[in-house]
Every structure is written in structure tokens, then in C-alpha cells.
Amino acid sequence: MTEQKNTRLARELETRDVAERPKSWQPASTLPEPDKQPGYEYRWVRTSMLNEADPRNVSSKLREGWEPVRIEEQPKFKMLTDPDSRFKDNIEVSGLLLCKMPTEFVEQRNEYYAKKAQSQTESVNNNFMRENDPRMPLFADRKSKTTFGQGN
């Protein structure tokens, strides 16, 4: 019985290093993931394209409510930022500026665009069905169906 205790104790001390999967190399992502702050959503905003500044895009995103993230908020980005950036105190990587917005505003923004898309879809459908004639009805199937092949 003492032999079993010794065997059991030795097994409990064994590690599972042998059972771990070997780690494989992966290419680095182009844009690093920021450390998330609760209550905020993050997005990369284009500041330039093909070495041409894009102030219109930056301006529209700032008016939408996106605010640039300061380097102090994400210290791990200090070495990654562009030294020639127009946004000195903010995080810009490869022509993209890291911005944040409160989650509640992002949800409101998403709802706005979802309603706008729904309205446009209904408008197109109504315009299409306006041309309907009982003598030659238009086909307007608004249902989708997914089928799977039959296995033999």
C-alpha cells in the first residue's frame, strides 16, 4: 500500500509539458490591438492613402464623434507610432489614426445606419412593386431558403 502512495505522489508531480501543442510562428498583424477600456469602442481612421493626406475622412470621423487616442492611454504603442505624424500626441500607424468613442454612441450610430439601410431597402421595394400590373405580376420573393445536398 505504501508503494501505491509513492507512485501516486510521483504522478501528481508530473507536468503536462509533453502534452502541450508546439507553438507555431505567425506573421505580425499590421495593426496592433489596443488595450480595451470599458465603455469605449476603438477604430482605426484613415489619415492618408497612397502618401496623400485625407483630411476629409479624418474630419468626418471626428464630427461623427470619434476622438483620437492619446499615447498616454496606450503606452505600448509608443514605439510603433510614426515619428513624422501630423498627430504628435496621438497614435498613428501606417496612415491610420487610433480613435475611440463611447459604446453607447457606437450603438446609436449603428442603429441609425441600420434604420437608414432598412428605409432604403423598403423604398427600392416599393418603387419596384409600383410597376406591378395584375395582367403580368412582378415576382417579388422576399424569403430566402438554404438547402443542403443529398448524401448518397
pLDDT per residue as tens, the chain (152 positions): 555 555 555 665 666 555 667 788 777 777 788 888 999 999 999 998 888 889 999 999 999 999 999 988 988 888 877 777 788 888 888 888 999 999 999 999 999 999 999 999 888 887 777 777 767 666 656 666 777 777 65
Whole-model pTM: value is 0.61
pLDDT of residue 104: 94
The residue behind cell 514605439 is 79
DSSP label at residue 41:
E
Q: Which amino acid is at 110?
A: N
- Give the Cα-Cα-Cα angle 27, 29, 30 (nearest 5 degrees): 120
Q: Rounded CA gap, 68 and 76, in Å? A: 16
pLDDT of residue 150: 72
Query: What was the pLDDT predicted at 99?
Result: 94
Phi and psi torsions of 111, nearest 5°: -65, -40
